[in-house]
Structure 1
Amino acid sequence: MAIGLITGLVVSAFRWIIGKILGGTIWVYQQIQTGHPWWLLLVIAGSILIPVLAGLLVKHQPQISGSGIPQVEAQLDDELSLRWWSILWQKFVGGILSIGPGLFLGREGPSIQLGAAVGQGFAETTGQTGTPRRIAIACGAAGGLSAAFNAPIAGTLFVLEEIYHNFSLLVWLASLASAVGANFIASVVFGLTPVLHLQYADSLPLNQYGHLLGLGLLLGVLGFAYQKTLLAMPRWYKRLIPLPRWLDGVVAFLVTILVGLWQPLWLGGGNAIILHFGQAAPVLGTMVILFIVRFALSMVAYGSGLPGGIFLPILSLGAVLGGIYALVMIDIGWLPRQYFINFVIFAMAGYFAGIGKAPFTAILLITEMVGSLIHLMPLAVVSLVAYLVVDVLGGAPIYTSLRDRLNLEPAAQGVTGRRAHIEIPVAEGSRLEDTAVRDFHWPKGALLVAIRRGEQELVPSGDTLIHAGDTLLIAVDANFRAKVKKELITLLKQPM
């Protein structure tokens, strides 16, 4: 709870400052449009100076680049050693410099890394190491997403599903306490209205559920294209832009000027665009152009390496795709017009579920952000279809793919004499299912010390059979935790 309250303060300040700067940026572009062209000089100067300052921060601390979620994942697996204060202040300042002036980046990834830094700082200040330290980092990450979107349940589940990869009861309860604390602070600052409060009068009837399959297919195919394009951007920057990597942000800022001069309200992460759909349905041509522009500019912005997330840009792209699909179906007479906003909502969850491969988080996040439970069933259908399409095409979770490209800085490897633990859940069909402890080839340095089975904790012997649904508690030397965990995961992926 303490970590959540502190994270709530940090992320609320981060979110508030970004909102004020983005509002000022839009106002400046509107002044240019209404006959005050001298403001353009300020925009050009700022679009060179600001990314240079943000780039210097990234050059000094490379692990604040991008969303920060892959870095948090690597921290929790002991594959990355970071100084929490260096991350905290530089991510805070760098995120504001990158997101506030209107780049097509989201605040949620940086908020998660800010929360993780708060959790790490709290743990180190109070002398916690090993598992308590990792749980503190996970708590901070949950609080960061909760405060960014006023979504405590989704923030907790995102940590379990996407970051921690373990539905541990201790992690679940601790992260939930942190997320609730952070959400309380954010609610005091921003009010109780859901972040994407979209009102609609009619639930989608069952005879229209066939559209959910078509929408999920579209989101899955374009979600896979999003993954491939995003992962290719650093290579394209290196090939096409003759600048040092830390100056690539200048290109993203200068390109964004063109959008600001044309449509300033399109700038930023995209939540204002989503809310506008609840007020008036745009024409199909405008929606197609909006998708192309936001897709391209979000790629340019994230590919530059500046601090900023893809979470909210993904949701806004999904909303636009849902609107495009609905408008096409409406125009050909296959869908009643009153269901337009429904498809905007459904597509946000589906697009994120496909790209992030985190369907539970997608469903709960949109439910909390919109503030209504009546669309859970269609959200689930669209999310499952989009997830399956990306899976069939060979797409991996986007944050896992980004993590694989990190320049990791692990702690020095040597026997410390300090014990750490690894929790391994045993799924149906696992190589460990119905296997005696003595019959599995455990990695060197791994010692199975307990098996959690329901409410019981068993002390295993060589003859103990491991069952599906068990959670294995494995003791290792602290410095070899990441290595042994990776070996275990590799062994469990091998055919039986």
Structure 2
Amino acid sequence: MPPSQSSLRSRTPDAPARRVIRTQQGATKAVTGLREAPWGLAVLAPAVGAGAGLVAIVFRSLVDLLTRLFSGHGDYAGAGHAANPYVSWLGIWFVLVVPVIGGLLYGPLVERFAPEARGHAVPEVLPGVAQRGGRIVPKVALVKSLASALCIGSGGSVGREGPLVQISSALGSAVGRVVRLPENRLRVLVACGAAGGIAAAFDAPLAGVFFAMELILRDFAADSFGAVVLSSVTASVVGRAAFGSGAFLHLPAFHVHHPAEYLLYVVLGLAAGAVGVGFTRILYAIEDVCDWAWRGPEWLRPAAGGLLLGILLLLLPQMYGAGYPALQNAVGGRYVFGFLLLLLLGKMVATGLTIGIGGTGGVLTPSLFMGAMFGSAFGLVAQHVGLAGSPGAYGLLGMGAVFAGAARAPITAVIIMFELTGAYSIVLPLVLVVGPATLVSRLMSGDSVYTLKLRRRGARVDPGPVGPNPLAARPVAEVMEPVPDPLPERTSLTQAAYLLALSEHGVLPVTDADGAYRGTVTARATAQALADDGETSRTVGDLAELPTAVTAARPLTDALHLLVGASGTGLPVLDDDRTALVGWITHQSVLAALRPPAPAARTGH
């Protein structure tokens, strides 16, 4: 019998229910678009950039506040041997105590909550991109921000750009994990955060872009580039809204006085590249000495070492914090040759000591400081023998060259100096110094100041090669395998770790209570969560990610590209509606499908 009208009405949702269903469907499509559609990163990247700009505002304000609280001055590096007006009875001797107090504050904080927050930040971001698919623990970033502000404010001779890169990268990672981005897009969002951190730190949006592409992602893919640009520009706009568009460094105008100086620029680049490598080696040598000498508890190490840093600050107050006033004085021609070399060596030791005793901050600004000292000293010599005009011009070029020699990032070095000076005339001389500096750095050392720390840990720096297999021309349906047993979303992480260990794929599908597909969970993500949180009430549903959808009809060429970049050894295959699991694709199944057929057995006649 045909169903009655009343029974049909009972099965048909009423208008409010239909609106709810349409809203849920719309939200699902929007989230799916953020994960997969080309416009998804165009929406998420500016959001991360805005967040990075806000983080920079808070962090810079906190550093300024703590610097004034600890030293009594806006920037003690430019105050000479002045006393702290808050404790004037201590006279100039207060600088002996300030790093110790700072160490007593941030030492226990780092040791208790995030020991990995020590150091100079960028080496902590690189493994998150290269090895953990863009996953960065948010807790580390929060601890890093407070510890770095305390370290710099109490005299630590490091820069604020490193903490901003790590904090903003963690922000990008957190946003991507909330949306459950696949790993290839999560890495891009982390780079967006790093670009925003640099852009907001120096008000240099182009430098932020190339820093992220050259050092964090280590490639220049077009889709990644667009997202990073959006984030970097947004961060810079937010920063300018708070601090204005005026540069925080007031550098002199750059001029080339004679064409013959171009040859001197090449010589400067060769020498500055060696200085950059020397800084890298001194930095890690001092860190090794501190590791060897210290036998007490780690939480006390920054305070004990702070006494040594205080002695150095008593002798050279220009080493306090980032040292921007001394940098400006150097390129302004206010220092003599011998004092420039003293400040150069002093900054190497002060930065190495700050990192070695357990402090935290960036090394980009110290490398610019050293470049200004070395370049200005070089310019004074060239001026003395009648080959150059203003020594300050060589100081500006030295900033880019020493950074290029230390960080092995020539494009970033050229762009950041161009944005800091605003002078197009500096571009050609910059290329002439940065190119030789990078070449010398490569000849003298296999690692940069950032990658050497990872090599010393035995960590891999670069992600594995990514590329499609040109032989694959069939649909995924022809090579897919049966779906492995899924994990219910309520499965505990401990049990999931056991089941993933038994699995041959390193990744398993996750389903909800009704058996519907929820995503995948990897062995790496599970192990990372257990390592970060120990025994926890979290379930695999909390870690489930939605990798870029592979449908049965999708060309195998596309699937191979996704499979090579996947975190496990397999990917789920969905139906055309992308809602139900219909198969599983693995490296082995693809290789088996691409294997040439065995030759037919010969028959006798």
- What TM-score range do you get, normalising by the shorter chain? 0.7 to 0.9
Question: 1:473/1:79 Cα in 2 relative to 1: closer, same or farther (>3 Å)?
Answer: closer
Shift of 1:146: 0.8
The answer to whether residue 60 in structure 2 is matched with residue 8 in structure 1 is no
Q: Which residue of 2 aligns with 1:49?
A: 101
- SS of alignment partner, residue 206 of structure 1: coil
Of 564, 567, 573 in structure 2, the residue corresponding to residue 478 of structure 1 is: 567
Whether contact under 8 Å (1:416, 1:477) holds in the other structure is no
Of 272, 281, 284 in structure 1, the residue corresponding to residue 337 of structure 2 is: 284
Measure, in 2, the Cα distance between the counterparts of 1:288 and 1:387.
22
Shift of 1:366: 1.1
The answer to whether residue 444 in structure 2 is matched with residue 399 in structure 1 is no
Amino acid at match of 2:105: L
Q: Give % identity.
A: 26
Question: 1:204/1:391 Cα in 2 relative to 1: closer, same or farther (>3 Å)?
Answer: farther
Q: Which residue of 2 aligns with 1:21?
A: 66
Whether contact under 8 Å (1:224, 1:393) holds in the other structure is yes
Question: 1:132/1:68 Cα in 2 relative to 1: closer, same or farther (>3 Å)?
Answer: same
- SS of alignment partner, residue 67 of structure 2: helix
Of 92, 95, 104 in structure 1, the residue corresponding to residue 145 of structure 2 is: 92
Q: Which residue of 2 aligns with 1:436?
A: none
Whether contact under 8 Å (2:66, 2:150) holds in the other structure is no
Question: 1:328/1:23 Cα in 2 relative to 1: closer, same or farther (>3 Å)?
Answer: farther
Of 115, 118, 122 in structure 2, the residue corresponding to residue 65 of structure 1 is: 118
Amino acid at match of 1:294: K
Of 294, 310, 329 in structure 2, the residue corresponding to residue 241 of structure 1 is: 294
List runs of 5+ in structure 1 lacking aligned partners: 421-448, 450-457, 462-470, 485-496
Return 6-15 or 391-400, whichever deviates more: 391-400
> Residue deviations 1:170-224, cap 9 Å, x none?
2111111111111111111221122333122633532111211221121122222
Matched ranges for 1:288-307 at <5 A: 288-307=341-360
Q: Which has the higher contact order (CA 8 A, sep 6+)?
A: 1
Measure, in 2, the Cα distance between the counterparts of 1:136 and 1:264.
39
Q: Which residue of 2 aligns with 1:373?
A: 424
Measure, in 1, the Cα distance between the counterparts of 2:439 and 2:293.
34
The answer to whether residue 186 in structure 2 is matched with residue 141 in structure 1 is no
Whether contact under 8 Å (2:283, 2:352) holds in the other structure is yes
List runs of 5+ in structure 2 lacking aligned partners: 1-45, 74-80, 461-492, 510-519, 522-549, 571-585, 587-605
Shift of 1:345: 0.7
- SS of alignment partner, residue 175 of structure 1: helix
Shift of 1:26: 4.1
Of 163, 177, 180 in structure 1, the residue corresponding to residue 230 of structure 2 is: 177
Measure, in 2, the Cα distance between the counterparts of 1:204 and 1:332.
15
Question: 1:19/1:217 Cα in 2 relative to 1: closer, same or farther (>3 Å)?
Answer: same
Measure, in 2, the Cα distance between the counterparts of 1:215 and 1:308.
28
Question: 1:88/1:78 Cα in 2 relative to 1: closer, same or farther (>3 Å)?
Answer: same
Aligned length: 435
Question: 1:480/1:404 Cα in 2 relative to 1: closer, same or farther (>3 Å)?
Answer: farther
Return 188-197 or 157-166, whichever deviates more: 188-197
If you compute each CA radius of gyration, which structure gives the higher value, 1 or 2? 2
Shift of 1:355: 1.0
CA RMSD of aligned residues (A): 3.1
Question: 1:276/1:19 Cα in 2 relative to 1: closer, same or farther (>3 Å)?
Answer: farther
Matched ranges for 1:214-233 at <5 A: 214-233=267-286
- SS of alignment partner, residue 83 of structure 2: helix
Amino acid at match of 1:388: L
> Residue deviations 1:229-270, cap 9 Å, x none?
222233211223333344332244222323443443441112
Q: Which residue of 1 aligns with 2:574?
A: none
> Residue deviations 1:433-492, cap 9 Å, x none?
xxxxxxxxxxxxxxxx9xxxxxxxx9759xxxxxxxxx96653542369xx9xxxxxxxx
Measure, in 2, the Cα distance between the counterparts of 1:101 and 1:403.
28
Q: Which residue of 2 aligns with 1:348?
A: 399
